Chain A
Amino acid sequence: MPDEAGATAGSSRPDDPDRRVRIPVTSVRVDAPQFQIAAKNPRRAELVAGSGFLLAAAGFAGFGAAYWQNWSSFWLALTFSVGFAGLGYGMVVWGRYLMPRGPFSESRHSLVPTGAQREVFVQDFAIRGKVAVERRGFLVKTLGIASGILGVVLAFPLLRSLGPLPEKTLRQTAWRRGSYLVDITGRKIKTGDLEVGGFMTVFPETDIGGAYSQTMLIRVDPPPASGYLTPPPQFAKQRATWAPQGYIAFSKVCTHAGCPVGLYEELTKQMLCPCHQSLFDVTDAAIPIFGPAPRPLPQLPLYIDDEGYFRAQDGYDEPVGPGYWERGND
């Protein structure tokens, strides 16, 4: 039984007679030097601390005045700060110089249990508990089944209700064959709206302001002789007609981490993403030439209709934006 273990080292009952026997009683005089205050000149220390409190009083009063007089936030903050600084200063001076200087100590008893303590604990927990579960395998197993199923089904409202499945949403934007290129006000863009070296942020008319359909329309060059900007060799066939009259369009969603690539350098003909400084070469299918972006910006195939408006030949031929597990090599 527990009593024979004797006094436990961490016991907190000072009246326990067993304990008194174990640890020698120490006597301490109340006029011991550790109880004296540290200040050599207590009056001066008191004045210093008191002046801190007076400063605090002035500060807080100033805060009140600043509030009711509707002064600027600067004065509110300054008076607030001065008030607390004074308060803190006074309290610390009081604590350091006008209180028992110490040092004091207390015993640190090991938390490691004695063998006897451990045994007693095991007796109470395991042996009593054992009675409950011994030869009750059926009970334990059925509880396990119920808990297991609970654990699984809890995930349904906790997780699945949070949002829809991605499915194909990440693969496609709102761009379709024939979509007009419109600006943020919905105005359809036609040739001549951009100067050479200019750009605009455009959207399909069905998704103005769309996070994934945002596109950079850039007028790179004056109309080239062939009528189209020459794509790089690996896209020579596929993208031959995608950039009519010196205009070209790329997805504005960076393939690195999704920021809008809104920075176009007119002379070097490069797009720079402001977030992590990926640099895309507009004359080379927006292939990244610097920075962390791993893939080129998808290009939107353009054509100019009879009225001179820009329209998309089709949607993007690959998912726009950063990569994800299911993206593979599209």
Chain B
Amino acid sequence: MIDALFNWFDERLGISGSGRKLLNKIFPDHWSFLIGEIALYSFIVLLGTGIFLTLYFVPSSKDVIYEGSYAPLRGQPVSEAFASTLNLSFAVRGGLLMRQMHHWAANIFVGSIVVHMLRIFFTGAFRKPREINWIVGSTLLILAIFNGFLGYSLPDDLVSGTGIRISFSIVESIPLIGSYAAFFLFGGNFPGNAIIPRFFILHVLILPAVIVGLLSAHLGMLVRQKHTQFPGRGNTPRNVVGAPLWPTFVAKTTGFMCLTVAVTGALSAFFQINPVWLYGPYVPYKVSYAVQPDWYMGWLDGALRIMPSWEIVGFGHMIPNVFFPAILLPGITFGVLQAWPFIEARITHDHAEHQILDRPRDRPKRTAFGAAVFSFYFVLFGASATDVLANYLSISLNVVLTSFRFLAIVVPLIVYPVTYRICKELQQVPTAGKRKRANVVLRSAEGGYSTVRAEQRPGDAVPRLDPLPLDEDIQFLPVPADVVVAGNGSPEQAPPQSSAESRSDRPRGGIFTIPRVYR
């Protein structure tokens, strides 16, 4: 039955003819190549849970009186967006699960993009011919961060609404066009009524469409250029070694997708995220202490906090204080990020094509630089919680702030040489990080000591074979049923005719029954 169905499609789309290449596509096996898949699968979770949420969320700033089940808000005027979020959380069965999974998946999505980007950076996978993919990927990071901000601002609660107010001020601070841009974005002065519906359509339609498009380009380039691989036995710049799409990679990646979904579900079970009913609706004259944006914007908040109170005023115009940490800093950050392949090529004078990855320890300068820059942004992220840290560590807020200003400069300066040294030392010991065979100490009858290598443990001696090529022009030589195959039977005994037949005819016996000649 399935064979008939397959034949029906095959005759119309020509799957057998050109699909073999797809079946045999090789995916290198290293675990760090799966990080991008974490991002991909959490994005799938976002899409799925997001569709559910759009069926219940009302993107409107119109005030309504909340009459739902949460007593501390009953009878209070709230926006329809807020009310529909509460309704979704309390009245829709499974609604809270979907909301929490959506938000946790968003955190994992951006987090895994960052880790993936770090992997690409530290292994040099952005070099020629993959500069375009790096730029596409960095753009995806920016879009993911921005879409996350839009998403958690949709419920119009006190915490995210404060963030929207800050974003108005940030847009306003752009020289020349700032006030116009802010008024255009908000449909007028703050707060207005337009921002929630506009954020909504940006968040569910426009940005996801762009993300999907760029993601397709990202994966398409990956398919076309093929994946990079680490140096290792059998890995050359002229091949790709790993597991084929069918059946191994399909199984492993589907399993991995399920595991990612499981992690998101587990987080949603145990950890509450964004409890907007505890925050209450946003009103421009109310505010809470101890608020920060979601973590992927935390570095911006930290930068806003530790920035000294400088402002440039002159000739009747002003470059406001928030311009520097909130426009200039991210501008430089993402600009350098996007341009990095070209910057590094300039510095190293390396314009050659690279298909084999570096181990981070083999490029100590790049690794140290990347670690230092990352530590800078991590300090900024920590600085978004100055008040919380001051509270829990019982340190004066003033001291914490001054410390962070100091740390933002000093920590990268320390991380660079430390990382450099670690890389250099790892280079000296090629088997660093790998389990080593023990030396067994023996004592002879005379009292002398000697060492001998320990017995190999059962699991250590897994022989890794040479890669078997699966190029489309290979011929599979079946073992004839009547021939007993010894340890190294020679191919010449096998009749080669079956491969030609398999291309021109319909497969005999169908795709799920093995032709007799192959058994």
Contacts and interface: CB of A to CB of B under 8 A. Distances in A.
Given A103-B468, A108-B226, A326-B317, A258 B168 contact: yes
Given A107-B469, A201-B285, A92 B259 contact: yes
B322 A275 contact: no
Contacts, number: 363
A70 B93 contact: yes
Contacts of B6: none
Contacts of B321: 256, 292-294, 322-323
B304 A257 contact: yes
Interface string A297-330: 0000000000000000000000001111111110
Most B CB contacts (10 A, CB to CB) among A25, A80, A103 go to: A103
B224 A80 contact: no
Interface stretch (B119-127, B244-252, B340-348): B244-252
Interface in A23-40: 23, 25-35
Interface of B: 18, 20-21, 24-26, 29, 93-94, 96-97, 100-101, 129, 162, 165-166, 168-170, 172-180, 182-191, 194, 224-226, 234, 237-244, 247-252, 254-266, 268-270, 283-291, 301, 304-311, 313-322, 325, 353, 355, 386-387, 397-398, 401, 464-479, 485, 489, 491, 494, 496, 503, 518
A227 B426 CA distance: 75
B258 to A, nearest CB: 3
9 contacts: A27-B474, A77-B265, A88-B256, A212-B189, A214-B285, A260-B287, A324-B320, A325-B319, A328-B315
Contacts of A234: none
Given A25-B473, A108-B355, A327 B318 contact: yes
A164 interface: yes
A291 interface: yes
A14 interface: yes
A17 B321 CA distance: 69
B255 to A, nearest CB: 3
Contacts of B479: 29-31
**Which of the four size classes fits the interface of chain A?**
35 or more
Most B CB contacts (10 A, CB to CB) among A77, A164, A290, A294 go to: A77
A211 B269 contact: no
Contact of A28 (B96, B301, B475): B475
A103 B316 contact: no
A87 B260 CA distance: 11
Contact of A92 (B18, B240, B252, B485): B252
Given A30-B479, A90-B255, A329-B316, A163 B187 contact: yes
A120 to B, nearest CB: 20
Contacts of B320: 294, 322-324, 327
A83 B188 CA distance: 49
A84 B491 CA distance: 45
Contacts of B270: 74
A108 B386 CA distance: 51
Interface string A99-112: 11111111110111
Contacts of A189: none
A269 interface: no
A106 B269 contact: no
B175 A162 contact: no
Interface string A200-211: 010100000111
A275 B18 contact: no
Nearest to B470: A104
Contacts of A70: 93
Contact of B94 (A76, A256, A328): A76
Contacts of A108: 226, 237-240, 355
Contact of A87 (B172, B237, B255): B255
A290 B316 CA distance: 26
A190 interface: no
A189 to B, nearest CB: 15
Nearest to A262: B287
